[in-house]
């Protein structure tokens, strides 16, 4: 590692698994102190224990405003400041099509995927202002936030809204020295893929390996993505290397959103069905 985050303190929501876990490990390897915010207590605590003094686990429901406010306060109490807020927590949410999507299901999806990002901006920006230091806010968006057809309606709409949050943050927060950027992952092999297709979580690694082998050739760079690919982009946006970068949504998708994907959506469903039938 190159010490790109030496001396920085970061919060990573959804930090106990998938993209979040990979990012926690990469941030610490680059010199940061990291607060892991999640609701997966056993996983989060075990990661923090393994990383020692560089990490702290804080149980946080990102749909609860008071919990996010407390998360920032706890971070500052433990590490003395905050430099980076990585709004990463998420799940698919309500998978219903538009014609079946209920108001309650839609609201729950937006609360998890979009409102949490707004609140992460709110309390991180307040802390940055109080410090007078500026800071970096990074958010996990999605290829589904750039194009339709990648996921269910609620998820797609919620991830599109994140783009609006990032752009509005530039208008309001850039004059304060606060940067806001997002990463739009493509097909990334995480536990969410298993949950989406009804694969038992204990088989998530096997399912990911199966999909990676089956679907890699459908992607422009010839492979699917992994959590570490997103973590590396997050380190860049959190570091001083990107100190003149704000308002961007960076696709980390192997080029997938630059072209027409054709039959990929049906191929991934067919592959999942094949796996489950074994």
Return the active site residues.
155
Q: How far apart are CA 20 and CA 37, in angstroms?
A: 9
Helix/strand number for the chain, H first, E second: 10, 7
Closest CA to 68 of 121, 128, 18: 121
Residue showing tokens 């876990």: 21
C-alpha torsion sign, points 138, 143, 149, 150: negative
The answer to whether residues 8 and 235 touch, using CB atoms and an 8 Å cutoff, is no
Cβ-proximal residues to 274 (8 Å cutoff; 6+ apart), any chain? none
């Amino acid at each position: 590692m190159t010490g790109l985050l030496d001396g920085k303190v970061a919060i990573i929501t959804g930090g106990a698994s998938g993209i979040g876990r990979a990012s926690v490990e990469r941030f610490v390897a680059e010199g940061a102190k990291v607060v892991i915010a999640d609701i997966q207590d056993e996983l989060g605590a075990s990661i923090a224990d393994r990383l020692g003094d560089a990490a702290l686990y804080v149980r946080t429901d990102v749909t609860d405003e008071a919990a996010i406010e407390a998360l920032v306060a706890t971070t500052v109490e433990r590490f003395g400041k905050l430099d980076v807020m990585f709004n990463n927590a998420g799940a698919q949410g309500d998978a219903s099509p538009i014609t079946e999507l209920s108001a309650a299901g839609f609201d729950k999806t937006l609360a998890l995927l979009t409102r949490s990002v707004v609140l992460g901006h709110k309390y991180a920006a307040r802390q940055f202002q109080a410090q007078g230091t500026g800071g970096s806010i990074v958010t996990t968006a999605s290829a589904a936030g750039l194009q339709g057809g990648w996921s269910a309606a609620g998820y797609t709409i919620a991830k599109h809204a994140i783009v609006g949050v990032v752009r509005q943050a530039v208008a309001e927060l850039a004059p304060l020295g606060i940067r806001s950027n997002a990463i739009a992952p493509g097909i990334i092999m995480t536990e969410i893929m298993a949950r989406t297709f009804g694969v038992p979580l204990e088989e998530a690694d096997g399912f990911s390996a199966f999909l990676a082998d089956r679907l890699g050739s459908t992607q422009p760079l010839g492979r699917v993505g992994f959590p570490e690919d997103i973590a590396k982009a997050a380190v860049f946006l959190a570091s001083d290397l990107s100190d003149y970068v704000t308002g961007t949504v960076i696709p980390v998708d192997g080029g997938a959103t630059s072209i027409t994907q054709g039959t990929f959506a049906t191929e991934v469903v067919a592959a999942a069905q094949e796996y489950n039938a074994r």
